[in-house]
């Protein structure tokens, strides 16, 4: 039995359409970015890996449009894990800025309330 015959399609039934759209956008964005980097392939420390990652993102983009993924796909899993790490980093920065903005807003509103005599 070939590897292709062992691959299994997994339907993403537990995910909402909104969640799927978020994942599709993230994968498509990563695909566009990494595919654009292929023009610099000769400067890559591991050109074969770069090509495998673009191919994995292409597979993910294709299958996500059908609401499923094909497993196992080690390269796709590794690429998605890095996307998750990158998003978590960005979210942490965003959350920190949001918390700072809320604290600033609350402090300024408090001063306005004191100045209003209420």
- What values do phi and psi take at 8, rounded to 5? -125, 135
Q: The whole model's pTM is what?
A: 0.76
Q: How far is CA 66 from CA 13, 17, 70, 81, 118, in A?
A: 11, 11, 11, 21, 58
CA distance 92 to 115: 35
* Residue 7: domain span: 3-115
Task: Report pLDDT digits (tens) over 55-96.
Answer: 999 999 999 999 999 999 999 999 999 999 999 999 999 999
At residue 49 the predicted structure's pLDDT band, cuts being 50, 70 and 90, is very high
Q: What is the rounded average pLDDT for all residues in the chain?
A: 92
Residue 106 to residue 43: CA distance in whole angstroms: 50
- Domain count of the fold of the chain: 1
pLDDT at 27: 97
Mean pLDDT of 104-113: 95
Q: Which two tokens stand for residue 74?
A: 């080690």
Residue 103 has pLDDT above 60, yes or no: yes
3-state SS assignment for residue 11: strand
- Per-residue pLDDT, 1: 38
């Amino acid at each position: 039995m070939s590897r292709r015959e062992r691959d299994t399609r997994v339907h993403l039934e537990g995910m909402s359409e909104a969640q799927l759209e978020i994942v599709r956008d993230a994968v498509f964005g990563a695909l566009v970015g990494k595919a654009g980097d292929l023009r610099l392939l000769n400067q890559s420390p591991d050109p074969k890996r770069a090509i495998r990652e673009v191919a994995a993102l292409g597979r993910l983009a294709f299958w996500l449009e059908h609401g499923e993924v094909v497993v196992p796909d080690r390269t796709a899993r590794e690429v998605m894990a890095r996307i998750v790490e990158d998003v978590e980093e960005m979210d942490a920065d965003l959350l920190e800025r949001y918390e700072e903005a809320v604290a600033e807003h609350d402090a300024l509103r408090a001063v306005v309330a004191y100045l209003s005599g209420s």
